[in-house]
Structure 1
Amino acid sequence: MSEFWVYFQIGLHHVLDIQAYDHVLFLMALVIPFTFKDWKKIILSVTLFTLGHTTALVFSVYKILGVKASFIEFLIPITILLTAIYNLASIGKSNKKGKINWVFLITLFFGIIHGFGFSNYFNTLLGGSSNSKLVPLLEFALGIEAAQLSVVLAVLVLAYIVQTVFKYSRRDWILVGSAFIVGVVLPMIIESVIWNQ
């Protein structure tokens, strides 16, 4: 098996790991307000998230910046919660260009937070000099992007089915989906180890 495929699969598994569903939850929260016609915004959002994720890994791998793991593990569910709450708060409001740009910047920042959450494990996977770490990191990022796009596609298909076959309004889809995410992520925040430090 080629080295590319190894790191690509690690990236895929990182997103699709059923035991670490926080990544999927964030993607769900990110995509719930959109439909297929918003594909450009979706691809830009997901790519910015991957860019942030990869930037954090670069910072960590090259020892530019490190963040305490328990703090990041606390911030990850906070990013999911804030995204779901934003969905609930912005239902029915117009998407002005400035507001969309702000959302894209926040998505990039949230990607950095999520990237630091995986950086310790990724650093243990990589050995050798710092020169040999960039290519595996990029291969890993491609795996993440492929997995994220598959999750996004699944959420969009589910949204389409719910809204066309079961005749739920877009508003109801966003309300129920975002409320579900809030319900799942709140216990993650409450049970965080950061409260015991």
Structure 2
Amino acid sequence: MSLSVFSTYLQLGFHHIFNLQAYDHLVFLLALCAPYVLQDWRRVVALVTSFTVGHSLTLALATLNVVSYSPKLIEVLIPVTIVLTCLLNLARAGKPSARPSERRRSDAIILTLPNLLAAVFGLIHGLGFSSYLRELLGRQSRPVLELLSFNIGVELGQLVIVGLILLLGFVLLRVVNVARRDWLLVTSGAALGIAVVLLLGQL
């Protein structure tokens, strides 16, 4: 029975990421990965892990009724996180990329702020995930197994999406010879436009 419950909520978490009703999370992942290419996968993993830590925490706390929140406020804050991420991307679009040796020396410093922001933004997105999960759970008071499996499913879905984004970027940059700056501007600009529409729809 437990294995069946685990498998069910694992699939629900995985498919929720690909649900068009949750496309705001897809847009955020696009904005988060836009500045990076396939060879930067370690830095992307660090960012996604930071995001995971944040949203896992609030997903658990909210689902277990430890914290309460305003769903309306979260619906506003989620597109705000996308807007801020895109603006940071656009601000760095004109800056030259550091050489590999320079990146290795400065990773510990450079990645601190992006990882911190990803974790903070993850706190907000976790509350958004919890709204959906609580609807599924109904009146269950301690759904620990369901929470764990749903969260793993979400993470697996995120990894697939991030991998697809990096792969698409690799094809466009290396095969089609699209300029890295153009890739960053187009993806961040598209994500920014969608986020602004979402934000205006909530105000």
- Determine if the TM-score, normalized by the shorter chain, exceeds 0.5: yes
| Residue of structure 2 aligned with 1:111, choices 110, 119, 122 | 122
1:72 offset after TM fit, Å? 0.2
Q: Measure the CA separation in 2 of the matches of 1:109 and 1:59.
A: 15
The one-letter code of the counterpart of 1:47 is T
**Runs of 4+ that moved beyond 3 A:** 93-97
Identify the residue that residue 12 of structure 2 maps to in structure 1.
10
Where does structure 2 lack aligned partners over 5 or more consecutive residues?
Answer: none
C-alpha deviations, 1:22-77, integer Å up to 9, x for none?
11100000111111111111112112212211211111123221110000000001
Q: How many pairs are equivalent? A: 191
The one-letter code of the counterpart of 1:80 is I
Identify the residue that residue 41 of structure 2 maps to in structure 1.
39
Identify the residue that residue 65 of structure 1 maps to in structure 2.
67
TM-score of the superposed pair, with normalisation by structure 1: 0.90
Identify the residue that residue 160 of structure 1 maps to in structure 2.
170
Aligned residue runs from structure 1 range 80-159, under 5 A: 80-91=82-93, 92=95, 96=106, 97-126=108-137, 127-130=139-142, 133-159=143-169
When the two chains are superposed, the root-mean-square deviation of aligned CA atoms in Å is: 1.6
Q: Is the 8 A contact 1:74 1:189 kept in 2?
A: yes
Identity of aligned residues (%): 37
C-alpha deviations, 1:130-185, integer Å up to 9, x for none?
2xx22211111111111111111111111111112221111111011111111111
Where does structure 1 lack aligned partners over 5 or more consecutive residues?
Answer: none
C-alpha deviations, 1:101-149, integer Å up to 9, x for none?
111011011111011112222123224342xx22211111111111111
